[in-house]
Each structure stands twice: as structure tokens, then as C-alpha cells.
Structure 1
Amino acid sequence: MTPPIRVLIVDDEPLARERLKELLADESDMAVIGECRDGVEAIAAIGRERPDLVLLDVQMPEPDGFGVLRAVAQEQQPAVIFVTAHRDFAVQAFEANALDYLLKPFDRERFRLSLARVRERRRTGAMELDSDLIERLESLSQRLPPTSEPYATKLVTKVGWRMRFLRVEDIDYLEAEGNYVSVHLGKQSYLARETMNALEAKLDPKDFVRAHRSLIVRVDRIEEVEPLPPGEFVLTLRDGTKLTSGRSYRARLQRALDLPS
């Protein structure tokens, strides 16, 4: 006998989670293994429970649905049905990327169509997400309207197979490192599975400044600035760390640090 499809529900709205549980109760081959209220809970639950399917809200606090997928290791990626309240471009983008979505409010018939697609993917052994999904979703997430909490207070990073949640207020600077971003807190550093552009969009520009294509610095950590002839700056942080800015980011630094032109 085929085991049931193990489903994780992720939505920050309690009524939405209840609605999904009610609909799944009528599906004999589906088993709800848990529910999560935000992205942090979702990342932990996916790593711990390894669900076959996640019903994933797009917009949630810290991180959103796209951030959840970027934080989950590729080999742990489940099948996903996105839940969204956004019409027009969002729906078109999901269709173009061959991903399924549920547009709130949705009816039972539309929900069952999504489940039928999941069953077909399971039958053909194609439950995993595409390897290039993260990049495609990131381009879409940057077009969505902001949530009520536009700037993150935590970032998700990797420590081996585990995930660590860092407080943004503790971060000194972020530096690109291959396909990851190295997040520095004092003498410690952790890898975040996101691009510099995605992380910059999450950080409050009052607190952080992009100083180079590969560098974002917390403003209040900068203790000294030394101009260099080509238009660059050497930034000395409180702990003595020295970082070099890029020429094209000179004006940003001047504004952020109130430097003369």
C-alpha cells in the first residue's frame, strides 16, 4: 500500500491554516504532519520532518515563502503549492515557471486540481523542485508589495546541515562568497543562501549601506573612513576590521555617513 503524502501547512493566518486542514481531511492519501505560523518555523519543520508537500504562503514575516525555499538545502526541497493573494503578474509568473499556486480565496475544486498535480508528480517521481527555482523565485519576490514588516530582524544561515538564526542588530557586515553570502558577527561568520541584492532589500537602509558589489556594512560599526585616490574608501570597523568600498558606491557611503562630497 502506498504511504500517504505527508503535508506541512505554512501560513501566518490561523483561519487560512484551518481552511487547508479542513480541505485535506477529505483526502485519504494526504496526512497533515504539522503547521507553521512563519518562515522561521517552516525552515525548522522542513528540515526536521522532511514533508513530501508544503502548502506555502508567499507573504509571511521573516522570512517570506521564497526565503524559506532559499534557506532549505536542495536535497531537502519538498514539492510546493504556493498560496498567494496576489493576482496579475504573480499568477502569470507562477504559471510561466510551471509551479502550482492557490490564489486566495480558492474553492475545493481548485484545491483538488492542485493535489491532482502533486499526485501526478509523485507517480512520475518528480516531487522535487527544479534546481534553478531559487533564482527564478527571487526575481518574482522582489516585485511583490512589501509586507507590514518590510525589514528583517533575523537572517537564516547555514551551519553544516543545520540552520542558525542571526539577529540583524548583531551583524557587522556581509560579504559575497561564491554562491553564498558570508554574514559576519564579531569573530564569527555564517553562510546565508541568498544573493547580495536579496539581502540588501531585507535590511533597513538606515542601518546598512551597500559599500561594494560584494559588501554591505552596518553603518554604526564604521569607526573611521580613509579616502583612496581612485574614489574608494577604506572603512575601519570598531573591531579593527578594514574593508574597501567600490568606486561606484562612493555616493551611497557619503550619504549614509554624512561625508562631504
Structure 2
Amino acid sequence: MTDARSPKITTVIVDDEPLARSNLAVLLRRDPTIDIAAECGSGVEAPAVIRRAKPDLLFLDVQMPECDGFDVLELLGKDLPPAIIFTTAYDQYALRAFEAGALDYLLKPFDDARFALALERARQKIAVSRDAPRRLERLTIKSAGQIVFLKLSEIDWIEAADYYACLHVGQRTHMLRRSIVDLEQDLDPSAFCRIHRSTIVNLDRIAGLSVTEDGGYDVVLHNDIRLRLSRSYRRQLEDRMGIRNTCAP
């Protein structure tokens, strides 16, 4: 039995079908602990709506024109709600949904009992998340018709590419539809460091520093990749690496 005195669960519904949004809203309004903060019919608009509402729970459709459910997750970064429930008429996306961090996967049409089970799972996860702040651990990337779930710890370095971030992982490269400035806000500063206006490096991948012909420094990675160290970011790198006076003033 739901306790009406429980903290409200702020919820956002994203689905391009008005009837689907309406049906979900009807079911949710039966529960006095649910507060529907917003409804959105466009995947393109969804990230801004979700960031504004800061929901505990997100109902997210998979198949939407222009920007689907996985695109929304890619654009949200660490702003993902604690509980995400995918809703779709297509069962082939279930595995990808769970790999992307979804709590549940409601296959349309679903009955009241199945919906109640998903909502109870969300309630339990939200209760836990309120005592433990979330930290971004992986990224959802769509590329060439594929969906990649990339752990941040696997990234060697990150390069700015206009409004995209180019993620270098071993011999592979992935393009993320977020700017390097935006992505930097999501990264753990104890693990990643900006070394140039267009470069972020995984500190665990650094093998050393190398003096350049012009008296500057390159950051040398374990795979022998050399990345230019900007003077304006040098002190920051020294602080993160726990070293001092390594480079000449």
C-alpha cells in the first residue's frame, strides 16, 4: 500500500504519441506520491525539459522521429534521472535499454499490473538514490546505426570537434553529440584533466611529460600518443597528478 505521506516522486513523460502520454498520465495520477512535472512529445525537446524538471522518474519512448530515446540519453549525460522506464511497442530494443541503464522496459500495450510492478521497482530505486548521489560512469553513443555503451574508465583522451566530443579508446574513436565543455562538467576531476582548450586526458593513461622544441611540454600517454600541454592548464595538471615544479615557469 502506498503511503500518501511519502516524498513526492517527480516524473516526466516523453512520448511522441499523445494517446500514449495521456494513458501514462492517467495511470500515474492514481498514485498520490507521483507528481507529473512535465510531458514532452519530442525527443529533440526532451533533454531541456528533463534538465529543467530534474525528475526522479522518467518514462521514455524508444521510437521517436529525429531524436529517439537513446539519443535523449546520449545528450543528457550525467543528468539522467535515478529511474528510467522505457516504453515502446518494439521488443527488440529491450537489451539495449537495460544496457543503457534503464530500470524497466514496458512493452506496449501493457496492463495495470505490469505498470504497477514497474512503478514499484522505480519507487525502490529512487528511495536508494536519494541517499546516494549519482555519478556518471558510462556514456550512451549512437554512431553509424549502432549504439555503444562506453565506460568512462575506458577512454584514453577526449578531443574537441566543433559541437562534438571525439572520444579516443585504444584504436577506436567515437563521436559524442556534446561539446567538450559540456562533457567536462560530467567527468570526475580526480580521473580526467583538461590539458588544452581542445583536449581532456584520462590521468591513468599518462606515462610522463616530454619537452618540446619550443620549450613547452607534451603529455605522453602509455600508448605513445603525444598531446600538447597548454601553459594555461599546466598548473591544473600538476595539481591533479600530485606533482609540483615539474615544468619550468
Compute the TM-score of the two structures, normalised by the length of structure 2: 0.53
1:91 aligns with 94
Contact 1:10 1:42 in 2 (8 A): yes
* Equivalent of residue 26 in structure 1, options 24, 30, 35: 30
Where do residues 212-227 of structure 1 align in structure 2 (5 Å cutoff)? Answer: none
Where do residues 133-152 of structure 1 align in structure 2 (5 Å cutoff)? Answer: 133-135=138-140, 138=142, 142=146
SS at match of 1:105: coil
Residues in 1 aligned to 2:26 and 2:77: alpha-carbon distance in whole angstroms: 30
SS at match of 1:68: helix
Which AA in structure 1 matches 2:122? Answer: V
Contact 2:74 2:139 in 1 (8 A): yes
SS at match of 2:139: helix
Residues in 2 aligned to 1:180 and 1:48: alpha-carbon distance in whole angstroms: 28
Residues in 2 aligned to 1:196 and 1:92: alpha-carbon distance in whole angstroms: 21
Change (3 A) 1:109 1:4: same
Contact 2:74 2:176 in 1 (8 A): no
Mark the runs of 5 or more structure 1 residues left unpaired by the alignment.
144-176, 184-189, 200-261
* Equivalent of residue 12 in structure 1, options 5, 13, 16: 16
Q: CA deviation at 1:124?
A: 1.8
Residues in 2 aligned to 1:106 and 1:23: alpha-carbon distance in whole angstroms: 11
1:3 aligns with 7
Change (3 A) 1:196 1:53: same
Query: Deviations along 1:59-103, whole A, 9 cap, x unmatched?
Result: 1122111111111131x210211112112x422444566631111
Query: Deviations along 1:179-206, whole A, 9 cap, x unmatched?
Result: 46623xxxxxx3458874677xxxxxxx
Residues in 2 aligned to 1:80 and 1:133: alpha-carbon distance in whole angstroms: 15
- What number of residue pairs does the alignment pair up? 156
Contact 1:181 1:196 in 2 (8 A): no
* Equivalent of residue 125 in structure 1, options 118, 125, 129: 129
Change (3 A) 1:71 1:22: same
Mark the runs of 5 or more structure 2 residues left unpaired by the alignment.
148-155, 168-172, 178-249
Which AA in structure 2 matches 1:90? Answer: Y
1:100 aligns with 104
Contact 1:10 1:56 in 2 (8 A): yes
Contact 1:71 1:192 in 2 (8 A): no
1:182 matched to 2:161? The reply is yes
Q: CA deviation at 1:27?
A: 1.1
Residues in 1 aligned to 2:134 and 2:62: alpha-carbon distance in whole angstroms: 16
Q: CA deviation at 1:133?
A: 4.8
Compute the TM-score of the two structures, normalised by the length of structure 1: 0.51
Change (3 A) 1:84 1:192: farther
Contact 1:6 1:32 in 2 (8 A): yes
Residues in 1 aligned to 2:137 and 2:117: alpha-carbon distance in whole angstroms: 25
Contact 2:165 2:175 in 1 (8 A): no
Contact 2:10 2:35 in 1 (8 A): yes
Change (3 A) 1:129 1:118: farther
Residues in 2 aligned to 1:85 and 1:16: alpha-carbon distance in whole angstroms: 11
Q: Among the aligned pairs, what percent are the same residue?
A: 42
Residues in 2 aligned to 1:70 and 1:85: alpha-carbon distance in whole angstroms: 21
